Amino acid sequence: MTASIETIRSAATDWSIEVTPTGATKIESFRDCLAPGTTVNVTFLPGSDPRDTIAVAERLHNDGMRPVPHLAARSLQNADQLDELLAAFTTRCGVEEVLCIGGGVDDPVGNFTATMQVLETGLIQKHGIRQIGVAGHPEGSPDISDDAVAEALASKNALAARDGLDLYIETQFCFEADIVLDWERRARAAGNRLPIRIGIPGPATIKTLFRFAQISGIGPSMRFIAKQARNVAKLMTVQSPHLLIAGLAEGMAADKDCLIRHFHYYPFGGFARTAAYAGAIAEGRIELLPKGGFDVTES
């Protein structure tokens, strides 16, 4: 079975994208590259100033987008700081959704060491936010064991059911659809009921993708990009996630119980380029290829 244009387009609608505060400085107006109402995650990176995340979220809101700021548990000082951040997000930035993650910090800067501790404060709910993303790792996490990941996912499912929260999973990026689809089936069999947004690496050079894959420690599917990175002549070739997206779309359509709902793009090759690519696929501006996958066509 090969995914049809409509199958791919349907799977790729309602996509989201990510921006860092540093990356946002290179964007004059988000209106120039995004349709109104696009969901844009704003990172809270280790060692950064949370006021930078607030400032970018406010820009997005003023440009007509839906900002989704990250709340990185290990980078938060305490519940008071969390309360202040949430107040700023909701009053200044129109935030209705957040992504709560552990954060890649070996030594927490404050009282929080895990996402569940942040969720259980009740502060997110206090500020009227019911839609909350939590991290997912289809290939495991270098910071937490598989057993701990499974236990945390079970706890988040229980919290969502108990408090009536609209929790969802947003995953790290990877390169192979089969690995993602297998992970989703195993998580579902273990009791997961949370919908999933799959991380997609936006078009970028092989060199750039390999660097981010190394930093993220994404696991088995890194072999896909590592093989290509060995060819020095191809390092600056742009790699697009055509096959990944087509494979995911096919798997989503074939399994009516699949919990994958949306794609979340990581703009490793540039924000505007990734936004244009995501928009083209969602609009069905693609051409199927004989051996699988597709090409994006001109508008």
Q: Is residue 293, in this structure, part of any structural domain at all? A: no
Q: Is residue 59, in this structure, part of any structural domain at all? A: yes
Q: Is residue 173, in this structure, part of any structural domain at all? A: yes
Residue 297, Cβ density class (10 Å: 0-12 exposed, 13-18 middle, ≥19 buried): exposed
Convert the pLDDT of each residue in 167-192 to its tens digit: 999 999 988 999 999 999 999 999 99
What pLDDT, on a 0 to 100 scale, did the predictor assign at position 251? Answer: 97
Residue located via tokens 């309360």: 83
Query: Distances from the Cα of 201 to the Cαs of 178, 179, 180, 278, in angstroms?
Result: 16, 15, 13, 11
Q: What span, in angstroms and rounded, lies between the C-alpha atoms of 101 and 69? A: 11
Q: Is residue 193, in this structure, part of any structural domain at all? A: yes
Q: Is residue 226, in this structure, part of any structural domain at all? A: no
DSSP 19: E
What pLDDT, on a 0 to 100 scale, did the predictor assign at position 104? Answer: 76
Q: What span, in angstroms and rounded, lies between the C-alpha atoms of 281 and 258? A: 21
Q: Is residue 228, in this structure, part of any structural domain at all? A: no
Query: Distances from the Cα of 80 to the Cαs of 8, 13, 35, 57, 85, in angstroms?
Result: 44, 37, 35, 20, 9
Say if CB 27 and CB 60 are below 8 A apart: no
- CATH number of the domain at 163, please: 3.20.20.220
Instruction: Provide the whole-model pTM.
Output: 0.93
Q: What span, in angstroms and rounded, lies between the C-alpha atoms of 147 and 126? A: 31
* Low pLDDT (below 50) residues in the chain: none
What pLDDT, on a 0 to 100 scale, did the predictor assign at position 67? Answer: 98
The whole-angstrom distance between residue 264's C-alpha and the CA centroid of its chain comes to 4
Domain that holds residue 11: 5-202+240-283
> Which of 126, 115, 14, 130 is CA-nearest to residue 70?
115
Q: Is residue 163, in this structure, part of any structural domain at all? A: yes
Count of structural domains within the chain: 1
What pLDDT, on a 0 to 100 scale, did the predictor assign at position 236? Answer: 73
Q: Is residue 211, in this structure, part of any structural domain at all? A: no
Nearby residues of 239 by Cβ (< 8 Å), 6 or more positions away: 203, 204, 205, 206, 209, 225, 228
